[in-house]
Chain A
Amino acid sequence: MIQKVFNRRVLITSVIIFIIAGLFIYRLTELHFSEKILLNNPFKLINIRRGYITDRNRNILAISIQKESIYANPEKIKDPAAAAAVIASVLGDSEQSVLQKLKSDKKFVWIKRKVDEEPAAEIKKHKFEGIYFKKEFKRVYPNISLAANILGFTGIDNNGLEGVEFKMDSVLSGFSSGDESAFQLGDNLVLTIDKYIQYYAEKYLAETVQQYSAKQGAVIITDPYSGKIIAYAKYPSYDPNYYYKAGRNEWRNFAVVDAFEPGSTMKIFSMAALLKSGQLDASKKYNCTGAVQIGDTVINCTGVHGSIDIMDVIKYSCNVGVITSMNTVNSSILYSTLRNFGFGESTNSQLPGESSGILREVDSWSGLSKYSISIGQELSVTGLQMAAAYGAIANNGEYIEPSIFESIENYNHKVIKQFDSVSRGKIISPEEAAFLRKMLANVVDGGTGKNAASKNYVFGGKTGTAQKYIRSAGSYSSSSNVASFAGIAPIDNPKLVIIVIIDEPVDVTSGGQVAAPLFKKIAEKSLVYLGESNRVLKKLDPIDKKPVLPALEYKTMPDMRGMFFADALMILEEIQKTRAVKYVIDGQGIVTSQVPSAGTVIKNGDKIILYTGKDDE
């Protein structure tokens, strides 16, 4: 090695290294201080608009509207009593509490946050010294409680606290640096749910829960081919605009976060295991005398069914028949079949707090376990797991993970991420799936699910009536149970999977009586809405297709002041879906005034004009 060459080349290397170090330092000044690095944006906003949430048809479910927040520096207020009197009367608050705030010894105190423009302007007129105003976005849920249990809600600082708002907080919330010179607007979220089907599900669910004085209820509707959750209704629900008036009981998505013992809705998966074992013999007769003994335990049946074939075992939900058939099924095959159908693990739906349910490993099964599990005991499942598992039967044996997110769009409505369906592959063959669907159709056709039968469509499904296991007593409760129905609509051409769970109905308690009729109502309405041809009317009248729902559509002009113009555009487009109106948005930024004013009835041919302030005052 030549020393001179070495020295020279080391010098060259050193120069390169120091140049790179210099470039890094330059890059660091850019990253730490430049405003161009973060999304360069033409709109100057004081705080960051949280992205909106829509359903799959881009109907707004949650939106942000700019409001005025009033704060004070008590040190600078000369006459607190006079100021308090004015402020309290304008805001309709107690004078005492306002005065207390104005007299506190802090340098900063909120008087009221996110108030409407008019009262704020009224207070501004008085030009009180030491009283200041700051524009802040307020989260608004225009459909009130619709889809509340999916959406969740945000706190006063627009941070997601529950539901999708919580799960997708970093997507929706955007970012602002401390000095507000650099920011990124929150992105918009499109959900897979359908506002109208969601509405039907919630409406009829509420009726059923009230009718049977049940503790709570839930309905999950999915598209079996994509796993997309089209509706998730829960009752009791709440108004996310005033989420603090409700409590954990209303917020809690029990069909997602709590697992329950499903009972007979599981029997169809025992049949799948029977098929997998190659032991399903359609001609074999099972003799039901009303009870069966396994070891020391006697398991009662739902009735005395006599000698019936396997089709009728499911049709009449015969415990004895299912248990007897399990004699030919290996425990490990039953276990692996249930695992393949997604029981005992999360469905990865991305809904917050999803439970995995409990399906114990075969090693820890007792002699009784195989039989108990085959009729839906000794395991717990969630409503979502049920929906996904029935989805696999509807989808010719392919299991698709349920999902709630359709896409993410930027503030300019451009799609920046599309969520794709995640398949776990074929878990049973299409023929096996078709056979199971035949069994399910049979249940509705005069079996325990006959209350789900429709004149217009062919439905299939399975009822479930599970006694609740009372942990403190160590036994099953005789009075409280879970009535459920898991169905596919229509069964001859699956479009929707609908899971109905009614928790602790009173007096009338069976799944067939309580849950099946609710399934039928929701399924019929949803299929008509989706324009599915039915037996009576080969093709649906277009008027029938989109029934007008006054509660969900803008009959009168909404107050759009304070909305980010691109968000207001979404509302205008939503109005256009039902009314032939024209619109103009004058400028960019935040809407400051509108014609016609809020509350005016919108008629066909109306013209809506929105004016925006170019800058923030």
Chain B
Amino acid sequence: MDLKNVIDTRRKGTPDIIMFFTVFILIGLGIAMSYSASAVFAQKIFSDSFYFLKRQLLWFIVSFAAFILFQQIDYRIYKKYTKVLLLGSLVMLIFLLIPGLGHVAKGSSRWIRVGAFGLQPSEFVKIVLIIYLAKVFSAKKDTSDNPLFQLLIPVIILAIMFLLILLQPDFGTAIDLLFVSVAVLFVSGFSLFYILTLFILSVPAFYLLIYQVDYRRERILAYLNPWQDRYGIGYHIVQAFIAFKKGSVFGAGLGNGTQKISRLPEPHNDFIFAVIAEEAGFAGTVAVIILYCVFFWRGISIALNAPDDFGRLLGTGITLMLVIQAFINIGVVTGSLPTTGIPLPFISYGGSSLLSSMIAAGILLNISRYSDVVHDSDIYNPEFSEVWE
């Protein structure tokens, strides 16, 4: 594609500074905590306690470059490429499911190997889908159409993506995607009646997908009473509880936790919140929640002040995607939700997660740059004329 179209050189405001700092505080916390959480594990497996730290710093550099790039790219450009993006997503997700191509780790096929690193396409598919939904629901509608009919194609596309991610299996990401899609649908102004109808129609499908899959049912039962099965699935949750209890008010101090040593599963990854709980205590865990709330507040303000409907929906969708993901993770670790593996955005160790979160944050910051110049005719561009109503 022509780079001139992509890099937006027209006049625009400064990015949202609070959002910028919130993201970097979260990432800084993440690098420190995932190092602390992984050092023992890394020493044991790779004989190098810095193994994960080095990789994470490398990913950070890549992600930071992407972040800078994306906050320069005019977000409206994505509208033109939704078909390509969707098709690409579909290809990647199907590719993963072909035996021998997707990289299988820990019983699921979520990764595509790029050299020594693994990429998790579903992290990026989420963003693509939000772009698509924002485009569809911000477009002018023919009011004569039945609203259910308008929903048909997006729902089919969403269902396909959802199922493909579920098949990997990556339940956490699939559920995140689902929640965000419903939220975008909701804020875009669809009648509650139709949303409810859609929900009721999908209940049997969920019953089959969740309660009929043995290990998911077990996880739900373990969630209802972790102590009952404290050496099975409940084990992780009980160990996390112990981490919270040990953490008390201010925690044991960075690096001083003991639960991360062979008791928490992948402490640097999905259970990093428990490590924060033990090492930084209540002060640390509340701070993390507050940081995500600040992120949410800034994200929503950016969406509300966006110059067009696409920007509003995209901003809301991306903000919710990250916040809901964070809440699912925290919900699992605090025993408020059944166990499912999903990283804590910006904080958990993991390249794909960091890269996709940073790209998402970059897009948000780009939207924020147009908040002050809504009616400025200078940025009117016939190429995007359909945006203006």
B-binding residues in A (CB < 8 A)? 1-2, 5-7, 9-10, 13-14, 17-18, 20-21, 23-25, 27-29, 31-33, 37-39, 170-171, 175, 177-178, 182, 184, 408, 416-417
Contacts and interface: CB of A to CB of B under 8 A. Distances in A.
Contact of B189 (A1, A23, A29): A1
A178 B292 CA distance: 30
B188 A1 contact: yes
B292 A28 contact: no
A10 B189 contact: no
A17 B189 contact: no
B230 A37 contact: no
A178 B253 CA distance: 14
B123 interface: no
Given A14-B300, A31-B334, A182 B245 contact: yes
A191 B176 CA distance: 44
A10 B187 contact: yes
Contacts of B186: 9, 13
A33 B330 CA distance: 17
6 contacts: A2-B189, A21-B293, A24-B331, A32-B247, A32-B285, A33-B282
B351 to A, nearest CB: 27
A13 B303 CA distance: 13
Contact of A6 (B187, B277, B292): B187
Given A6-B312, A24-B289, A28-B334, 7 more contacts: A6-B188, A14-B300, A21-B289, A24-B330, A25-B289, A32-B245, A417-B229
Given A20-B327, A178-B246, A416 B230 contact: yes
B336 interface: yes
B248 A417 contact: no
A38 B246 contact: no
B244 A31 contact: yes
A32 B282 contact: yes
A417 to B, nearest CB: 5
A10 B327 contact: no
Interface of B: 137-138, 183, 186-189, 227-232, 241-242, 244-249, 263, 277, 281-282, 285-286, 289, 292-293, 296, 300, 303-304, 309, 312-313, 316, 320, 323, 327, 330-331, 334-336
B277 A170 contact: no
A9 B137 CA distance: 14
A10 B246 contact: no
A32 B334 CA distance: 10
Contacts of B309: 1, 6
Nearest to B320: A13
Contacts of A10: 187, 300, 303-304, 316
Contacts of A18: 293
A53 B328 CA distance: 39
A6 B189 contact: yes
| Those 7 A-B pairs whose CB atoms lie nearest each other, nearest first | A31-B244, A5-B189, A32-B282, A1-B309, A9-B187, A417-B231, A177-B245
Contacts of B137: 1
A5 B186 CA distance: 10
Binding site secondary structure of chain A: helix
A17 B245 CA distance: 26
B213 to A, nearest CB: 21
B253 to A, nearest CB: 13
B241 A408 contact: no
B154 to A, nearest CB: 15
Nearest to A10: B187
A24 B336 contact: yes
Nearest to B316: A10
B242 A175 contact: yes
A24 B327 contact: yes
Contacts of A29: 282
A561 to B, nearest CB: 31
B231 A171 contact: yes
A416 B231 contact: yes
Given A10-B303, A182-B245, A28 B285 contact: yes
Contacts of A17: 293, 296, 320, 323, 327
| Interface-centre pick from B241, B296, B300, B336 (highest chain A CB count, 10 A) | B241
Contacts of A20: 327
Nearest to A38: B245
A14 B183 CA distance: 11
Contacts of A6: 187-189, 309, 312
A27 B189 CA distance: 33
Contacts of A175: 242
B368 to A, nearest CB: 16
A492 B331 CA distance: 58
Contacts of A182: 245
B248 A28 contact: no
B187 A28 contact: no
Contacts of B228: 416
A59 B380 CA distance: 85
Contacts of A9: 186-187, 189
A27 B227 contact: no
B189 A28 contact: no
Contacts of B241: 31, 37-38
A32 B250 CA distance: 10
B199 to A, nearest CB: 16
B150 to A, nearest CB: 12
A1 B312 contact: yes
Nearest to A419: B231
Contacts of B249: 32
A468 B281 CA distance: 57
B328 to A, nearest CB: 11
A2 B242 CA distance: 49
A5 B263 CA distance: 48
A24 B334 contact: yes
Contacts of A1: 137-138, 188-189, 309, 312-313
B281 A32 contact: yes
Nearest to B235: A170
Given A1-B309, A17-B296, A177-B245, A417 B289 contact: no
Nearest to A18: B293
| Interface-centre pick from A17, A39, A184 (highest chain B CB count, 10 A) | A17
A171 to B, nearest CB: 7
A38 B303 CA distance: 42
Contacts of A37: 241, 244-245
A13 B187 contact: yes
A27 B183 CA distance: 25
| Interface-centre pick from A7, A24, A175 (highest chain B CB count, 10 A) | A24
A38 B242 contact: yes
A38 B312 CA distance: 45
A23 B244 CA distance: 16
Contacts of B289: 21, 24-25, 28
B304 A32 contact: no
A184 B238 CA distance: 11
Nearest to A181: B245
